[in-house]
Amino acid sequence: MNIVIASDHAGFVYKQKLIEHLQGLGHQVTDFGTNSDEACDYPDFILPAAKAVAEGKFERGIVLGGSGNGEAMAANRIAGVRCALCWNEETAQLCRQHNNANMISIGERMVDEATAIAITDAWLNTDFEAGRHLRRITKIDA
């Protein structure tokens, strides 16, 4: 699978670990940054990664931060992206089965490394149950 990955400084360590893990499984992984644990603004890295997924350049995307919340919110601002914040294997499976999530967000401060890897594997190995759950998501103006 062709996967894009991006993080801010607070998700940098797990990003590096996930790149190694994914490549070990035979996936093609493109790193959109950041390239260190120096403080940075997450949208600078997350938005280009999400746009690349929305444009079909990558099949899936993974974003990481301290909590993962900001990264998921930023990614979901891009039309065509369905980014789910995942805390465990079950949330990763359900976001694929029910929501056809093409991106996930993981918080390095929220889960341990083994759980981050398990989340990633569960998400990659779960199929979308087409037609059963996700019908149509439209923009709702407040």
Rounded distance between C-alpha atoms, residue 84 and residue 96, angstroms:
9
Token pair belonging to 104: 């996930």
For a pLDDT cut of 90, what percent of the chain falls above it?
Answer: 91
pLDDT tens string 58-80:
999 999 999 999 999 999 999 99
Amino acid identity of 35?
A: N
Three-state DSSP state, 120: helix
Rounded distance between C-alpha atoms, residue 128 and residue 133, angstroms:
9
In a 10 Å sphere around its CB, with 0-12 CB exposed, 13-18 middle and 19+ buried, how is residue 42 labelled? Answer: buried
Give 113's contacts (C-beta < 8 A, 6+ positions apart): 14, 17
- Class of domain 2-124 as given by CATH: alpha beta
Q: What is the pLDDT of residue 137?
A: 52
Token pair belonging to 115: 């759980």
Q: What is the pLDDT of residue 130?
A: 79
Q: What is the pTM of this model?
A: 0.92
Q: What is the pLDDT of residue 142?
A: 46
Question: Active-site positions?
Answer: 71, 98
Reading the chain (142 residues) residue by residue, the pLDDT tens digits are: 999 999 999 999 999 999 999 999 999 999 999 999 999 999 999 999 999 999 999 999 999 999 999 999 999 999 999 999 999 999 999 999 999 999 999 999 999 999 999 999 999 999 999 765 545 554 555 4
